[in-house]
Structure 1
Amino acid sequence: MAENAKTEQKIAAAVKEALASVVPSKVGNATTSKPSKAAAPVASNINVDWGKASSKDIGVFYPGTASIEWILGRSHGGKRAFSKGDRCIECHGEEIADIGNNIVTGESEKELEPNVIPGKRGHIDVTIDSTHDAEHLYLRFSWPEGEHAAVPFVDGGKMDPENPMKLAFMLATDDVEYADRAGCWGTCHADANSMPFAPDGDALKGSDLANRLNFTTGSGTGVTKYLKESRTELELKGRGGKALGGWDKLKDQSEIDAAQSANQFMDVVRYKSGTKEVEDGQILAERDMHKGVGATVEASLKNGTWSVIVKRKLKSDTAGDVSIEAGKVYNFGFAIHDDYSSARYHHVSFGYKLALDNADAEVNVTKQ
């Protein structure tokens, strides 16, 4: 309750300052303004009238070691509904906070967090403002900063001391299996770096895949995110001591190229607050990132509220980019690494729908 009270005070202060600086816009003879629950305005080189944006509150939660294999495995009670096509939010949309709090404290009967971080919050309430013009998509993510919770199994208590916060979001078409119901969850596997069945360094170095996959990216040496479309199979049951996942079941390059041409990839944009690095890339056989080409990001922390503004091209001819067109609906998910966290120790969203000027989409990107 004390933590919630502090959070509410921070939000109230940010809202008060934001409302005090709202610039009214004139429509005919009337003067109107749209209050925003997001962070107070700061100097920006991204010129957007946020009064024309739509707004959506989306909670992100701490997932622990839950992976796509766990979702499709014996421990998940919703496996059958998910396999039939039900979206995660259809079953769990009203219990996001409860799920995160149960996992982060180690109290979940599913035993999804073996490395409890005392004091780490289980969920974060995020406001997403979205709008577009003729050429660009604009997203503004806003959420309250949490109290620092030192990580007991890391020297200094901070996993990524350089970056207080990292934010990433993904887009995909329905060509990617599971993207329509789980967003970016299909990229998370039980054998990825820091997950329960992650292979050790010697196994990676000795693998004949070492010359095809990059095992030294991201937060350290290990397997990065990948999609089922790039593997011949995924181990889901773990019988006979088999490791869950399929990192070493990589398809031939010709099959992966075919999947790429069939839009079976996740487009990802990632921002690091400390180094101010913007990365743009994709996930298919692995997470393949490069420095931002099609995206610009500005971030600020003011009055206890983070604000991250993303400007991204709607259309692109770069491989691995999803072009956003009117009349189409896209799968959207995002993750926040708060409090200097890294690897799987983040907060994630379920899968949502994003579209231009479509009131039926959860993230309705309205026109400037």
Structure 2
Amino acid sequence: MLPAPSRYFTVVAVATFWLGTSALADTTPPIDWTSLPVEEITLFYPGQSSFQWLHSREHPGARMVGRGIACKRCHDDAEQSMGNDIVSGGRLEPDPIEGKNGSLQLAVQAAHDEKNLYLRFRWKTQAERPGVMHNYMRYDGQAWAFYGGPRSAMRVRQGQEPPLYEDRLAIMIDDGDVERFAEQGCWLSCHNGMRDMPGEPAAEAVRSHPYLGEGGLGRDDVRKYLPVSRTDTSISWDKVKSPEDLAKLKERGVFLDLMQWRAARSNPVDMADDGFVLGYRLFDDGNNPFSWNVDRNSMTPQFMFDPEKVGKKSLTVSDIETGPEPAALIREENATRYNPDAEWKEGDVLPGRLLSRVDARGSAADNARVAGKWEDGSWIVTWIRPLDTGHGDDITLKRGNTYTFGFAVHDDNVTTRFHFVSFPVVVGIGKGGDITAVQLN
């Protein structure tokens, strides 16, 4: 028998945070979050512990995993020690990042009414500034080039460029249609062959793949996918079922919802993106709140800051290393078309991404009421998710049901597997769970 949920989560007190940013105003009832319980979840550093490793002889618990035993039954209250062990280096982390924490505490609150699920998250960042910088471009006096990157990148490790990468909060949701997600959580979607994982294929091999490459999705790397989307017992990255078979699975509801709040690419316009995982990690139909601000043919920006609105046309290297204001280029608020004759100087910097709340549309824009605030060294993110988005590429949530969630946080300028993850978490909407969404009056 599994231990009671209270052994995994502890109620703590946090400060009041009222919903009320510009994107949320007039559409949301005020919530006194101090009146709602807080569940504190320990997220930990997983390294290269893939689905394949989980079922391999290298994993002492592989036999129990094969029998369907939940991961957290064997690892009760061990997240912090496991994360510290993995992040220090070894077989699950052959390329450790110096100074990186092994775990992170994520405080979660939840409420609901007839239409929406309301979530509030809080976590302390390792860095002393928020990770709001992402895909920046720097002018070297002659040409523009990307500048900075994640802490895992060699050029950053060697001190050639600064660590610049956005903080992120990701939520996976399963309604019971993905076999074993309730027991194994996000490990069901993480595999050898993916970016920064064992057996990562060359970009040329991915581009030549009929489904993933130039004849299909147009990708040159491998991202999340589910075991049911592959045809072999090893769940190999390249053994993908036909598009027709994947479409049938999707129609039956066999997929994971995946939503990501991004401190650089969505938070400045009070949104999060919306996607799903099946044969690959894909965005929902429509337009995200972010796009590229780079002409790939000329490698020049497409937009710059509007001097009449911002007081300057660009940022500087010193700006982005200390936390720029503004950090984001928003088409309808502070941007104007790039002027190549604007007397650009060495060290001028522009965001490589263009944001727009106005241009976001379709199912990809379902998460239109998500607001993050960084204060006292912590992020506070309030997320309003419609129970029924009206789109078939989202999981419909119903009051009186429970769902399995997986949480992940990218913190301290990292991407891909260098994040923190949770074991599966049961969220009840008007029903008991590890986290119970309280009904609003």
User: Considering the TM-score relative to the shorter chain, is it more than 0.5?
Assistant: yes
- Cα deviation, 1:141-168, whole Å, max 9, x if unaligned, reads 10111147993743345897252x1111
Q: Structure 2 counterpart of 1:367, which letter?
A: Q
Paired residue for 1:57, among 26, 40, 53? 40
Q: Which amino acid aligns with 1:253?
A: P
Distance of 2:392 and 2:98 partners within structure 1: 42
- Aligned partner of 1:225 in structure 2 is 224
SS of equivalent residue, structure 1 residue 54: coil
Counterpart in 2 of 1:87?
Answer: 70
Q: 1:309 aligns with which of 382, 387, 395?
A: 382
Matches within 5 A, 1:1-368: 36-37=13-14, 44-45=21-22, 46=24, 47=28, 48-49=30-31, 50-106=33-89, 111-147=91-127, 151=151, 153-157=153-157, 161-163=164-166, 165-209=167-211, 210-211=213-214, 213-214=216-217, 216=219, 221-235=220-234, 245-276=235-266, 278-290=272-284, 291=288, 292-295=364-367, 296-359=369-432, 361-368=433-440
TM-score norm. by structure 1 comes to 0.80
Distance change >3 Å, CA 162–CA 116, structure 1 → 2: closer
| 1:300 Cα deviation from its structure 2 partner | 1.1
Distance apart, 1:214 and its partner CA: 2.9
Displacement, 1:35? 8.0
- Closer, same or farther: CA 116–38 of 1 in aligned 2, 3 Å: farther
Whether the 8 Å CA contact 2:261–2:370 is kept in 1: the answer is yes
Aligned-pair distance for 1:230?
A: 1.1
The Cα offsets for residues 306-361 of structure 1, whole Å up to 9 and x where unpaired, read as 111111110133122111112322110011110111111111111111121222x1
For the residues of structure 2 that align with 1:152 and 1:175, how far apart are their CA atoms? 35
Per-residue CA deviation, residues 228-280 of structure 1 (Å, 9 max, x unaligned), is 11111242xxxxxxxxx411111122221221122110001111102325210
The 3-state SS of whatever aligns with 2:365 is coil
Question: Structure 2: which 5+ runs fail to align?
Answer: 1-10, 130-149, 289-363
Conserved in 1, the CA contact under 8 Å of 2:408 and 2:421? yes
Rounded to whole Å, the distance in 2 between the matches of 1:249 and 1:159 is 38
Q: Give the residue type in structure 2 aligned to 1:145.
A: T
Q: Please tell me whether the aligned partners of residues 168 and 269 of structure 1 are also in contact (alpha carbons under 8 angstroms).
A: yes
Query: The residue matched to 1:58 in structure 2 has which SS?
Result: strand
Unaligned runs of 5+ in 1: 1-33, 236-244
| 1:139–1:311 Cα contact (<8 Å) kept | yes
Kindly provide the amino acid, as one letter, of the partner of residue 13 in structure 2: S
Q: Is the 8 A contact 1:175 1:264 kept in 2?
A: yes
1:266/1:320 contact within 8 Å kept: no
How many angstroms apart in 1 are the aligned matches of 2:181 and 2:163?
Answer: 29
SS of 2:121's partner is strand
Are the aligned partners of 2:266 and 2:273 in contact in 1 as well (CA < 8 Å)?
Answer: no
> Moved runs in structure 1, 4+ residues, more than 6 A?
none
CA apart distance, 1:86? 1.6
Q: Contact 2:109–2:121 at 8 Å: present in 1 too?
A: yes
Give CA-to-partner distance per residue, 1:85-104, whole Å, 9 cap, x none.
Answer: 22111111310000000000
Whether the aligned pair in 2 keeps the contact of 1:144 and 1:304 (CA below 8 Å) is yes
Contact kept in structure 1, 2:44 and 2:82, CA below 8 Å:
yes
Shift of 1:208: 2.5
CA shift in 2, pair 1:159/1:321, >3 Å:
farther
The structure with more radius of gyration:
2
**Normalized against structure 2, the TM-score is what?**
0.67
Give the number of aligned pairs.
317
